[in-house]
Structure 1
Amino acid sequence: MFILFKIFHDIAFFSWDLGLTFVNLVLPNRPVGKVTPEGHPGYGGKWPEYIPPKEGDSRCSCPALNAMANHGILPRDGKNIQFKEMGRLIRTTYNFSSSFCYFVPHYAAEKVVKKDYNNDTFNLDELDHHNGIEHDASLCREDSALCPDQSKPHVEYITQLLAHATGKDKDGNPLLTMKDLAKYSSKRRADARSYNKKFTLGFIHRMFGSSNSSTMLTIFGGRVKDLETVLLEERLPENWESRVRGKMGLTFAAFNLTVTPVELMISEKKYLKEKAAKEANKDD
């Protein structure tokens, strides 16, 4: 009976998501400056006051969720959050679609924290069960085997990531591209595998890693200046709004049009080969 329900649930979800994807193709985009809905935090680029977390506050390995708590969009202490409410607030803050904002909190409730999506609450740090959503070879956190507290950014990794940017916008500002993120992901996976004796990274967590890259490319447009603020300070820049302007928001289907290419371009073998060649050239 449960399996039958799961099949119908998944069919309904993907039909809903594809429907929203189609609507985005036929309706005009949201105007620049009005991506965040009126009456919600961030409308017109005016975000609530940023207050860094204090001792005892709950934070997790996701900079985007931490930023929402730091601005008071989620509870500032990061505690007693309703799954449905988190989804609604992610939608208005980052312009993910309603289908996406159902899927992610539902997955977190069911698969990660083992709680009831409709009735229970959670703290942000509960999302960091290792190999739930949190995973090894993160682009902005050390592996949990080396740093159990996943709430704080790892500055060295983030600085290296942003330094990989090779793209430029029309004004000449640096942008991260798919190739940049795939190249740095290759480095992080190979390096982490070499020094973390407990390293694991199965298929689902490789896809989670590339999903984080996709968020940087879509919601944040790959813009290094914005990502520097979001990843290092876990703060939303002044006058910032989501770079996704689709009327229905970023759907799961559209999101995966970025996730999959990034993942396919990642190659630890290529990174290690290039690294060995550079070291050989130094020795000559």
Structure 2
Amino acid sequence: MVLVPFVLAWDILLNIGNAVLPKRKKGKVVRPGHAGVGGKWPEFIAPTEGDSRCSCPALNAMSNHGILPRDGKNITFKQLNALIQETYNFSPSFCFMVPHIGASMLKKSYWKDSFNLADLDLHNGIEHDASLTRLDTHLNRNQAPPHLPFVKELLESATGRDEDGNPLLTEADVSRMLVKRRKEAEVANPHYTTSKFHEVFGASNASTLLTIFGGRVADLEAILIDEKLPEGWESRILEHFGLTVIAFNKVVSRVGKGTEGEKKE
């Protein structure tokens, strides 16, 4: 990908900036003028028939709150870039790179084209087998709704606790559940496929639960089951420029290494 050197250089600068600049204050992660300021999110409206949704709870939640179009359709890649950054405090470099990857997989132009959320469920492109929250495509063609038994088992697997004793998912919890899902999918799905790329992609998706959502089970219940941003919620990333690719990949790497340890046990 031609843009990779540019994005990585940009990301390094943002990472340095995060190290030297003061963090955002809790309660003020979302900048003034954007949806979610002070934890006050636009009205939640569940999707209706004909609306487009995908297997990503975070994007579905944005449409359910009207941050992205409520019908989940005709979203430009540039629009997605800006709104993910504002909503979840991913870094500008991260938000530039990920929609570019999505556009490339869908064989669309980042600069000129649009997409529907359901387009993102291109099997073995963006969507993959052994999800933590969805049945495999072979077992359920509609990837939009979460598979509640998977979600509840994931949340109940939390072994961490915050300072108030509330349950938290840990990196080890997520690694363990990723391996469990892969083993189960291999048995249940006769068309099960995986690759190193999809294993890394799965670890990346799971790592969002630990970074942006801080592993907090109470918040994840809303985002994974109802695909709703809780009242008063804000991203757990306080860094000035948001969650960089470098910082995120450190978490992804540890989760990935954890899956290797789980396989050996």
TM-score by length of 1: 0.91
Q: Which amino acid aligns with 2:179?
A: S
Question: Of 45, 51, 57, which aligns to 1:57?
Answer: 51
Cα 1:268–1:157 change in 2 (3 A) is farther
Check the 8 A contact 1:67/1:234 in 2, yes or no: yes
2:125 is matched with 132
Pairing of 1:100-179 with structure 2 (within 5 A) = 100-111=94-105, 113-179=106-172
Alignment of 1:235 with 2:228, yes or no, is yes
**Residue in 2 aligned with 1:192?**
185
Aligned to 1:12: 6
User: After the TM superposition, which parts of structure 1 deviate over 3 Å for at least 4 consecutive aligned residues?
Assistant: 267-271
What is the match of residue 31 of structure 2?
37
Work out whether residues 146 and 196 of structure 1, in 8 Å CA contact, stay in contact via their aligned partners in 2: yes
Q: Is the Cα contact below 8 Å between 1:187 and 1:268 reproduced in 2?
A: no
Larger Cα Rg: Structure 1 or Structure 2?
A: 1
Aligned to 1:277: none
Alignment partners' CA distance in 2, 1:32 and 1:84: 28
- In structure 2, give the amino acid aligned to 1:158: V
SS in 1 for 2:205: helix
CA distance in 1, matches of 2:210, 2:251: 8
3-state SS, counterpart of residue 179 of structure 1: helix
One of 242, 252, 255 as aligned partner of 1:262: 255
User: For the Cα contact (< 8 Å) 2:176–2:262, is it kept in 1?
Assistant: no
TM-score, length basis structure 2: 0.98
Deviations 1:117-141 (A, max 9, x none): 1011110000101011110000000
SS at match of 2:17: helix
Alignment identity in percent? 55
Matched residue type, 1:32? K
Q: How many angstroms does 1:212 deviate by?
A: 1.4
In structure 2, give the amino acid aligned to 1:41: A
* 1:80 aligned onto 2:81: no
Match of 1:247 in 2: 240
Report the Cα distance in structure 1 between the residues aligned to 2:206 and 2:161, rounded to whole angstroms.
Answer: 17
Alpha-carbon distance between aligned partners in 2 of 1:268 and 1:178, rounded to the nearest angstrom: 12
SS at match of 1:266: helix
Amino acid at match of 1:80: N
Name the aligned partner's letter for residue 98 of structure 2.
Answer: V
Q: Deviations over 1:188-242 (max 9, x none)?
A: 0001011111111101111111011210000000000000100000000000000
Unaligned runs of 5+ in 2: none
Letter in 2 for 1:162: L
- Alignment check: 8 A CA contact 2:200 2:256 kept: yes
Residue 270 of structure 1: how far off its partner (Å): 3.9
Letter in 2 for 1:38: P
Q: Which runs of 5+ in 1 are unaligned?
A: 1-5, 274-284
